[in-house]
């Protein structure tokens, strides 16, 4: 029951074709979500400009293309982000749309139809070690496809502080920072101590032994002594980039 | 070696009392942090306007008062936030400064000398159950003392959705949301699905048995299927309020 | 906006005092949950007959009494269940209502105003060891207050099978079984193998060392080789009794 | 020692061929389980009508067929459920019995020889995400093969409440609900808050990082703030469907 | 239905007062456990000579005395073991029976009415550190009260091998060894490597930090590279002494 | 320095060729372990009669054969046990010795050169489910090769007690019991309650979800309410069979 | 059997009073540890100069004094270290020896009778937060009492790098560093990156929520990306100071 | 801004071309790390003589060769260590430099251009079981390539003490010991009790069941009752060898 339905009902009441009692009954049983959540859906489409997202893992190239084709239909030129894809999926998607761009380290595919930057400042993606780069790349591609200027700073682990501090100006210039680290997960604490902006910490499963699949880094980040740090799931580069995008639009 | 030291050195060079070579040597060994990190410190004081914070747990009333007195000295009227205090500490702090205000559920004390709102929008603090209110209150007091307009919404757990949805407008109006929940920690996922702004999830240790001191809620929040959620430590209401404040200033 | 509000609005439309457009607008912004979730609330009150529940832990006697007084107001004679109370709370509640009955092992207080049995069969509460009895009692009192005939069978741990098998007829006669055990948590598997009805397993924190606060029993129950077993939280006698009541009404 | 043995013994006592003392001795040492547990076995066959179940994982097609052939022998037309099978097993089973039906997502095979619905109402299987569907399908096929009318509702995760609430009527119509979710495992709490019937929560291992193989969802469900929730093992769709069937027969 | 009941029934059959058919029926429904498990109970009393055991923790002196009094009634002079008692319980028990002997480190009380040694050899109790002695004492008192010659060897941790090896002869002379250790739990591996008899390893919760309440010692013992080691629960001195006693009787 | 060396030294002292002082010096620096631990080694060979054991996992057929060949050299006819082998290793070992016998479920190979039974009674190996049989077989082959009469009882899980109780006599006849179970690990508690002999519990990694690789069964067994249970590592059938053999020799 | 025993034996051989065969026999059974491990004991006393250590927790003042008195007896002036003591123990110890010095934060008592510095360089103790100081103090007092020059650097957490870098020279001057940190445990990685000497990381239980009693810091330190870091137990300041002392003597 | 930049600036000040005020400004904003951390870099190269290290896992042969080629450029003959490589990488590296030596068990490749021993004493690598040798080899190759004399002692597990004690002299002669063990991880405690030098404990993931990937050994080592033990990550042979090298240089 949408606006037209209600209008029709009310006009029938006015015309005397429908008693007040029966109209109440109909309104009463009208699926509330058509009223209430259409509004939410509208919110959803308002906030689109955000890319639509497809999580490709476990899907066939054919499935991914089918979903992407549906997303490409609307007139409004949403960007499309496909995460955890592989080369086969990329080839299929690229046949569908020539703007598809593949990021092989993270498996992310971006289709950028709208290149406007809706983010207000720079999202900086910092990664501790070279092995953390795939997750960092996913964060960076996510933020870019969501309409942000993104810069990145890789291989600046805390055991070689000078590498990090060398880029102090770049760090100071960011409006939001996504900080990706495995092993002891110490980088977000150090980076957050240098700035006054929000730092989204992304633990990675990089490490071995007592890393326990990223648990060590996750716990470290949750216990950060810097107060401007918040955390997303292990290896969740997408989540880090998404939260940063949501913040950078404010 | 501060600004005066450098000035003196350079003047001695100009006066010919110091050779360029020796001046280089002195500059070279000058504690880099006096140059480099004074800048950071300046940044720190620039971002002050943020309240200074004292973590009172394990400190005596006398110790807290001593620290607070030092913070009250500067001309610039910083706000002061004291977390995890008790009534005895409050009485001592209140003797020091009449503006101190005690929030007994969370043990937070705010001394608001600067009532300007530096936050751009409303920070909404949502709590799932009545037992989560102390943590939520800590978040709210933190955000207020950091210069934000704060609203709150308590006892809106997911097993009674209508209570939550009843306040849809309030939720939709927030610029940043701090979402506090124990037990199954599901509230941030539901709230984040209703909005397009960042949601800071704060797990609490409320629960028993397989709650394992808040672990259940923490893991749930880290695994949220809503992408605009990030997480701070268990019972870390201060952290939730602080991250929200950092974001709301942007 | 309830039924009366809608009636009034529709009558104003019929009377021509309100245009269709404005009426749509009002309906549109009418809090959907007033429509949608009133129905749910109605469901709620329909299912009342179930006792109202107060979790007393962390509440003062005065607070518990205040809540209980509110629950005693409605004409419909709901039963009231207060869990995790102590003697002081009991005395206060008993002054409020003479039917309040205290169960000191579990700390449960039942106020049974409606003694009709809405459950279709017998709820049997089985406990492995004498130390598990407080949790079992909470389950039993919950199911009773929810309107069930309840029987119990205590101290029938699996290391002395004959004690359990001696009561085979009682076990066979139950319509739903709540099975409470700590330590190795094996009882639900054994009991469930003897019957064809649902068995609600309640792990307890009874045990020491590698019991890890009930984790051993919880994991054992989740891994039961009997298929008619489902599990609630550690020490959650209330939950066990509640689920059994919901099932026994069907 | 079965009924015939006892009859013979008693007749020898009657005939005076056996003294009372020696008869007692013989009865005393007679394998108790032949008396006692035949009764239990009888119970077992009474409750059959329930399908017989084969867990195919780790078995060869030949082994599964051999077991299934044995199950097909009795005159009474039991249904047969084979879980965690693959296409090769299906082909072998299908050659054995033409009614075998394969459900490839879950690997479940149902042989429905008895299509009577012994369940009293509808079992509703709800799944949070598309990745949870294999586990949900296992629950649905289990409940169907156990003789229940089953309906399902997929992809109704809590971060998009409107999708769930859109199906409110379907949810309200169920007699038992199996609720399948991975990641933060919040769906059972939300669904259980909408109804007054038992909700069997099935955590799945869907998720990554701090999902820890379904631990996050499991803990969340055990800590549900809705009281009408009980839980089975991670990915245990069969268990969920079985418990629901046991309940729906009551 | 006990022996007398069966006799009576058989005599009524012989007398022609009861038909064979009805006698079968009665026998059939006779509680199997009265036949079957009386035998087991008899086994139980046969194996008594083993002490009866009371776990005193959480019981009042009055309750412990009541149970002990019941145990003291039978003609056969069982020993009685009371574990985890305190001085108040001891005083009460001592008033009941003058032979009660208190072991204050472990809180064990032994009432030895039968001083015969039913164990075939020596049970040796070895403890790694002085802090492990309470648990070791519980094991020793248990084994003694169960009728074993017990020797002990304390403070022979693996970081000072010479202390252990100095007692090589004593170790070599034992028929069963109970080996108690906290911290890294290495002692059972070392001791078991010196002998060819069974070693019952008892982890203790002694340690701090990453001992995690005895988990470190427990895991170490379960992973012993010596094959003649088996393990009981953390701090379970009683269990260690009991298993040793069961073995030493063989 | 072995017996011959000492003899020579002492004879030189007697002959006056070596002063007492220098002899002391030589004895003093003589590697103590050659004296002290030869005795231990002698003990080792005395207790041989126990099979020699090769853990084949991670070794090539060639390596296993080389080790086995060395073990076959001594005149004394030790049995040889090879665990966790595969068909390729078996073929190689069988070429070396025609008595090698392969047990394909567990991968155990026994070479029984000495068929004397050194164990005093029967070792009974009980397994809960058919999936636990490989581990049970390893225990059985170990005990057999160590010189024990072994009986086994498979598929007697606690959810179908009658299957277990049907074999009560067999259980009662054992001198030592190895009890193998995965999932909820309840079998050892039930079996141990039926007997007065030691029960070695072997948890298996059989199960899924919250079994956590056998952790659930392990914890359950450590928390057994039966006192005559001790535990070895997860899937450690060899350990279970070995401890049983050590006990059965006493 | 000590040196005198051997001398006597050899002389009897020489005198012809003892046959070579019997002498061998006696030597053979002579407790090897009297030969072998006296040497080790000598090693032990050689390395003394290290303080003797008493772990006071759980001991009475009287017990601690008794042990300390024994340690004070030998002529060689060992230092004595008492850890985890309280004021009452201190007063008792101080009556025994006037040099006893109490460190109230850590509860350490040092009795320094030998003030020689056996350590070759400076042991630097670094602590991240003020709450970590008690553990750091224990490390410092341990190292001092073991004969080292100790310096300390407190409150230099990684979120305020300038505080740490300000003391770069002090850090660079250390020969061994003990690095104490709770919460995210990042400090050792940062400090170790600044130097080329060994860094002993001591995690503390400081933190809350997902600190899990120091587990977060422990895991972080074990996963340090700096290679010159090794780790001791949580809150084990003594261990940190001891390892540093052992290294500093080399 | 390097030395030349500062020289130029100071000369302009001297020449009067630049005011003191502006020079201060420029110095103030000059990237501190160019001054400060060049010094640290210099430190880094001073301590080189240590081998450069490449972690080969996840890198292609081509990538490893490219990095190694860069490391081989400088005049100073650093050694190069490549860890976790395979035969393909080795062949590629060997074509680059004929001194490359492959250690196939650990996958370590050493290129030793500088054979000077910078370590002051012997680094002893001790391994408990043959399965621990790969990790031990990584430690040994690391220490060798870092310029140490390395000895090793393998297969000396604590369940056969005589094997370990046989090598007492070798153990006593070491200046630093790396002690590698899986399963119960007891070896470091035993070894450390025999010596007064630092023992670096390396837990391995060798074991099964409740070894939990090396967790058992790790926890045991952290809880060692020997005070001269510190620990590195599970399977971290490189870390063990590196810390030993850092210590052995002192």
Confidence band of D208 (pLDDT split at 50, 70, 90): confident
Mean pLDDT over C171-183 rounds to 96
| pLDDT level of residue B12 (50, 70, 90 thresholds) | confident
The reply to whether residue D185 touches residue B189, judged by beta carbons under 8 angstroms, is no
Res C229 pLDDT > 90: yes
Q: For B37, which residue in chain G has the nearest alpha carbon?
A: G162
Collect all residues of chain A within an 8 Å Cβ-Cβ radius of residue G220: 184-186, 216-217, 219-220
Least confident of C213-217, F14-18, H88-92: F14-18
Q: Tell which wins on pLDDT, C18 or B140.
A: B140
pLDDT band at D3 (very low <50, low <70, confident <90, very high): low
ipTM of the complex: 0.81
pLDDT at G84: 95
Give the nearest partner residue to E230 out of F218, F243, F248, using CB atoms: F243
A177 CB neighbour count, 10 Å cutoff: 27
- Which pLDDT value is given to residue B6? 63
Is F89 within 8 Å of F67 (Cβ atoms)? no
Closest-CA distance, A166 to chain H, in angstroms, reads 6
Using the beta-carbon criterion (under 8 Å), do G219 and A220 form an inter-chain contact? yes
Sequence-separated contacts (24+) of A22-31 with Cβ below 8 Å: A23/C10, A24/C3, A24/C6, A24/C7, A24/C10, A27/C6, A27/C27, A27/C35, A28/C3, A28/C6, A28/C35, A30/A1, A30/A5, A30/C35, A31/A1, A31/D166, A31/D168
Contact between chain G and chain D (3 or more Cβ pairs less than 8 Å apart): no
- State the average pLDDT over residues E196-216: 94
Question: How confident is the prediction for chain C on average, in pLDDT?
Answer: 85
Q: What are the tens digits of pLDDT across the range F165-201?
A: 888 889 999 999 999 999 999 999 999 999 989 999 9
pLDDT at E1: 41
What pLDDT score does E40 carry?
A: 32
- Of residues D24 and B241, more confidence is placed in B241
**CA-based nearest distance C207→chain E, Å:** 10
Backbone angles phi, psi at A208, to 5 degrees: -145, 175
From the candidates D129, D135, D209, which should be mutated to test the interface with A, based on the most A CB atoms within 10 A? Answer: D209
Neighbours of chain G (3+ CB pairs under 8 A): A, B, E, F, H
Chain A environment of C20 (Cβ under 8 Å):
7, 10-11, 14
The pLDDT tens digits for C91-136 are: 999 999 999 999 999 999 999 988 888 899 999 999 998 899 999 9
Confidence of residue B141 (pLDDT cuts 50, 70, 90): very high
Whole-angstrom distance, CA of residue D31 vs CA of residue H32: 89
* pLDDT the model gives residue E239: 96
Is B34's pLDDT higher than 50? no
Q: What is the pLDDT of residues B58-111, one digit of tens each?
A: 889 998 998 888 788 765 677 899 999 999 999 999 999 999 999 999 999 999
What are the pLDDT digits (tens) for A2-38? 455 666 777 787 787 887 777 766 664 443 333 322 2
Segment G122-131, tens digit of pLDDT: 999 999 988 9
- Measure CA H64 to chain center: 18
Rounded-to-integer distance, Cα G112 and Cα A125, Å = 53
Mutation test of the interface with chain E: which of C185, C209, C211, C216, choosing the one with the most E Cβ atoms within 10 A? C209
Query: Are there at least 3 beta-carbon pairs closer than 8 Å between G and H?
Result: yes
Chains C and G touch (3+ CB pairs under 8 A): no
Residue C74's pLDDT is what?
62
pLDDT (mean) for D197-224: 95
Per-residue pLDDT, E18: 81
Alpha-carbon torsion angle F227, F228, F231, F236, nearest 10: -160
Q: CA nearest C33 in A: which residue?
A: A32
**Structure confidence at residue E52 (pLDDT):** 82
Q: Which residues of G touch A (CB under 8 A)?
A: 128-129, 157-161, 165, 182-186, 189-190, 192-194, 207, 209-212, 215-217, 219-226
| Interface touch H27/B35, C-beta < 8 Å | yes
Show which residues on chain F lie within 8 Å of chain C, measured between beta carbons.
128-129, 157-161, 165, 182-186, 189-190, 192-194, 207, 209-212, 215-217, 219-226
pLDDT for the residue A42: 32
Interface of E with H (CB under 8 A): 128-129, 157-161, 165, 182-186, 189-190, 192-194, 207, 209-212, 215-217, 219-226
Q: What is the reported pLDDT for C6?
A: 64
- Facing residues of E125 across strands? E152, E178
Chain E: residue whose CA lies nearest to H183:
E223
- G31 to chain F: closest CA residue: F36
Mean pLDDT throughout D206-233?
Answer: 94
Whether the CB-CB separation of A180 and A126 falls below 8 Å is answered with: yes
Task: Check: pTM over 0.95? Answer yes or no.
Answer: no
Which tokens belong to D139?
A: 């629950």
pLDDT digits (tens, 9 = 90+) for F232-247: 999 999 999 999 999 9
Q: Which residue of E has its CA nearest to G1?
A: E166
Euclidean distance between CA atoms F141 and F242, whole angstroms: 10
Report the residue from E227, E232, E250 with minimal CB separation from F230: E232
Residues of D in contact with B215 (CB under 8 A): 219
Q: What pLDDT is attached to residue F32? A: 34
Best mutation site among F133, F157, F209 for testing chain D: the one with the most D CBs within 10 Å?
F209
- Give the model's pLDDT for residue A35: 30
Distance CA A200, CA A222 (A): 11
pLDDT tens for A138-158 read 999 999 999 999 999 998 989
Chains F and H share 3 or more Cβ pairs within 8 Å: yes
How confident is the model over F51-59, as a mean pLDDT?
A: 86
Contact D210 A40 (CB under 8 A): no
D211-215 mean pLDDT = 93
> What pLDDT is stored for residue B68 in this prediction?
87
pLDDT per residue over F205-222, tens digit each? Answer: 998 899 999 999 999 999
Report strand pairing: A80-83 vs A52-55: parallel
Cβ distance F242 to E223 less than 8 Å, yes or no, reads no
Cβ-based contacts of E211 with chain G (< 8 Å): 233
Cβ–Cβ gap H234/A168 under 8 Å: no
Q: Which of B32, B37, B234 sits opposite G209 (nearest CB)?
A: B234
Those chains having 3 or more beta-carbon pairs within 8 angstroms of chain B are A, C, D, G, H
Tell me which residues of chain A have a C-beta less than 8 Å from any C-beta of chain B: 36, 40, 43-44, 46-47, 50, 53, 120-121, 165, 168, 172, 175-176, 194-198, 200, 218, 222-223, 227-234, 238-239, 242-243, 246-248, 250
Predicted local confidence at residue C35, as pLDDT: 30
Nearest chain B residue (CA) to A203? B222
Minimal Cα–Cα distance from E166 to chain G, Å?
6
Per-residue 3-state assignment (H helix, E strand, C coil) for chain F: CCHHHHHHHHHHHHCCCCCHHHHHHHHHHCCHHHHHHHHHHHHHHHHECECEEEECCCCCHHHHHHHHHHHHCCCCCCCEEEECCCHHHHHHHHHHCCCEEEECCCCEEEECCCCCCCCCCEEEEEECCHHHHHHHHHHHHHHHHCCCEEEEEECCCHHHHHHHHCCHHHHHHCCEEEEEECCCCCHHHHHHHHCCCCEEEEECCCCCHHHHHHHHHHHHHHCCCCCCEEECCCCCHHHHHHHHHHHHCC
Q: pLDDT tens across F109-166, in order? A: 999 988 888 899 999 999 998 899 999 999 999 999 999 999 999 988 898 887 888 8
Backbone phi, then psi, for E194, in 5-degree steps? -90, -10
Q: Which of B129, B190, B219 comes nearest D210 by C-beta?
A: B219
Q: Do chains H and C touch (3 or more CB pairs under 8 A)?
A: no
> pLDDT-based confidence at H151, cuts 50/70/90?
very high
CB atoms A158 and G225 under 8 Å: yes
- Report DSSP letters for E27-58, one per residue: HHHS-HHHHHHHHHHHHHHHHBTBPEEEE-TT
Tens digits of residue pLDDT in B205-222: 998 899 999 999 999 999
**CA of E39 vs chain F CAs: smallest distance (Å):** 10
pLDDT band at F15; cut points 50, 70, 90: confident
Where residue G26 falls among pLDDT bands split at 50, 70, 90? low
Q: What is residue D206's DSSP assignment?
A: -
Mean pLDDT of A44-54: 59
Nearest CB neighbour to A209, from listed H37, H58, H236? H236
Q: Pick the residue with more confidence: F162 or C193?
A: C193
Would the CB atoms of A239 and B227 count as touching at under 8 Å?
yes
Record: contact G14-F28, CB cut-off 8 A: no
pLDDT band at E90 (very low <50, low <70, confident <90, very high): very high
For E8-12, G191-195, H24-28, H102-106, which range has the lowest pLDDT when averaged over its residues?
A: H24-28
- CB-CB neighbors (< 8 A) of G129 in chain A: 225
Q: Which is more confident, F29 or D163?
A: D163
Q: Cα torsion for A107, A108, A109, A114, to the nearest 10°?
A: -170
Centroid of chain to Cα B36: 26
**Tens digits of residue pLDDT in A188-200:** 999 999 998 999 9
Tokens of B219: 């893991």
Q: What is the DSSP letter of E68?
A: H
C218 with B209: Cβ contact below 8 A: yes
Q: Taking a C-beta distance cutoff of 8 angstroms, is the pair G243, G210 a contact?
A: no
Subunit contact H208:F32, Cβ cutoff 8 A: no
Q: For residue A132, which residues of chain D lie inside 8 Å, CB to CB? A: none
Compare all CA atoms of chain C with the CA of A37 and give the residue at the minimum distance: C32
- For the segment H154-181, the average pLDDT, to the nearest whole number, is 90
B166: pLDDT confidence band, cut at 50, 70 and 90? confident
pLDDT, residue G27, reads: 60
User: Which of these, B106, B64, B100, B104, lies nearest to B87 by C-alpha position?
Assistant: B104
Between B and D, how many CB-CB pairs are < 8 A?
121
Predicted pLDDT at B27: 60
For position G3, what pLDDT does the model report? 52
* Angstrom distances, CA of residue H165 to CA of C2, D234, E161, H137: 87, 49, 10, 21
User: Is residue G123 helix, strand or coil?
Assistant: strand
Q: Is the pLDDT of residue A220 over 70?
A: yes
Query: Which whole-number Å values give the CA distances from D236 to D198, D210, D243, in the listed order?
Result: 17, 20, 11
């Amino acid at each position: 029951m949408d606006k037209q339905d209600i209008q029709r009902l009310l006009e029938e009441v006015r015309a005397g074709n429908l008693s007040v009692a029966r109209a109440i009954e109909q309104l009463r049983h009208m699926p509330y979500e058509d009223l209430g959540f259409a509004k939410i859906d509208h919110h959803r489409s308002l906030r689109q400009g955000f890319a639509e997202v497809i999580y490709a893992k476990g899907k066939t190239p054919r499935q991914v293309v089918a979903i992407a084709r549906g997303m490409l239909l609307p007139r409004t030129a949403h960007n499309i982000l496909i995460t955890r894809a592989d080369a086969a999926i990329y080839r299929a998607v690229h046949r569908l749309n020539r703007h598809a761009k593949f990021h092989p380290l993270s498996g992310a595919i971006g289709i950028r139809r709208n290149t406007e930057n809706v983010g207000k400042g720079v999202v900086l993606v910092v990664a501790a070690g070279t092995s953390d780069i795939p997750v960092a790349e996913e964060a960076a591609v996510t933020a870019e496809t969501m309409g942000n200027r993104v810069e990145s700073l890789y291989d600046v682990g805390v055991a070689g502080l000078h590498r990090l501090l060398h880029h102090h100006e770049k760090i100071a210039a960011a409006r939001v920072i996504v900080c990706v680290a495995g092993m002891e997960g110490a980088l977000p604490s150090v980076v957050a101590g240098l700035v006054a902006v929000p730092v989204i910490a992304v633990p990675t499963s990089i490490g071995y032994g007592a890393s326990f699949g990223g648990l060590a880094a996750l716990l470290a980040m949750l216990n950060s002594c810097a107060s401007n740090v918040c955390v997303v799931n292990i290896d969740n580069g997408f989540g880090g980039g998404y939260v940063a995008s949501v913040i950078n639009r404010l």
